[in-house]
Structures are given as structure tokens and as C-alpha cells.
């Protein structure tokens, strides 16, 4: 498990290529995806908002975040499952559910 800060990214990057390549398509804010610095592309993780204990499962399709203390960037759609976008940042737990082989 990993603990730290989650942020979100959305419409401003819609349609951009994701770092994980063509197999993952273009970034779509409403999809349940995320960016992580080191987890392999295609890894499925469960992100828990430690304030309200809501969870969301996302697939790693991109790289980032690069801000200090930040462990994952969620698509705006996945962030909204566990908190209003207005929160901006969340204290989270990130748990790997399934890594690609």
C-alpha cells in the first residue's frame, strides 16, 4: 500500500496521448484511469479517500504526478467518485489489485 496525496486532471488534457501508448488510447476525463510514477501501465488499483473512506478502482494509463507528496493523479471522472472536484487534493491510500504480467 502507498499513502499520499491524490490530485485530478480533466478536460484541459482531453484527447491527449497517454504515456502508456496507443494500446490505452487518448486521455478521456470520464474514464476510470490514473497517472502514477512507477506502477506498470495497465495496473488496476483501488484508491481510498481517507477522509470519507470512499473508494474507486482505476487503471494506470499515464505517468505522473510530479508535485511533492503526490502519489497519484486521477482522471476527473474517477476523482468525482470519491470526492467533489472542488476538494482539489485528497489524502489517499493506493492499493494494487492486479498488475499486468
CATH number of the domain residue 28 falls in? 2.40.40.10
- d(C-alpha 99, C-alpha 40), whole Å: 7
pTM score, whole prediction: 0.93
> Average pLDDT per run of 10 along the chain, which is 101 residues long?
94 86 88 96 98 98 92 97 95 96 76
- d(C-alpha 42, C-alpha 52), whole Å: 27
Residue 93 confidence (pLDDT) = 98
Grid cell 478521456 is found at 28
Q: Which residues contact 31 (CB under 8 A, 6 or more apart)?
A: 75, 77, 78
Q: Give me the domain span that covers residue 67.
A: 2-98
- d(C-alpha 52, C-alpha 65), whole Å: 22
Domain count along the chain: 1
Amino acid at each position: 500500500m502507498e499513502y499520499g496525496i491524490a490530485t485530478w486532471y480533466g478536460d484541459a488534457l482531453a484527447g491527449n496521448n497517454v504515456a502508456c501508448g496507443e494500446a490505452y488510447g487518448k486521455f478521456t476525463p470520464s474514464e476510470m484511469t490514473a497517472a502514477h510514477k512507477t506502477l506498470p501501465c495497465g495496473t488496476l488499483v483501488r484508491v481510498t479517500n481517507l477522509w470519507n473512506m470512499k473508494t474507486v478502482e482505476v487503471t494506470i494509463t499515464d505517468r505522473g504526478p510530479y508535485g511533492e507528496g503526490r502519489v497519484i493523479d486521477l482522471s476527473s471522472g474517477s476523482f468525482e467518485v470519491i470526492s467533489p472536484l472542488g476538494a482539489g487534493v485528497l489524502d489517499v491510500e493506493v492499493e494494487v489489485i492486479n498488475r499486468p504480467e
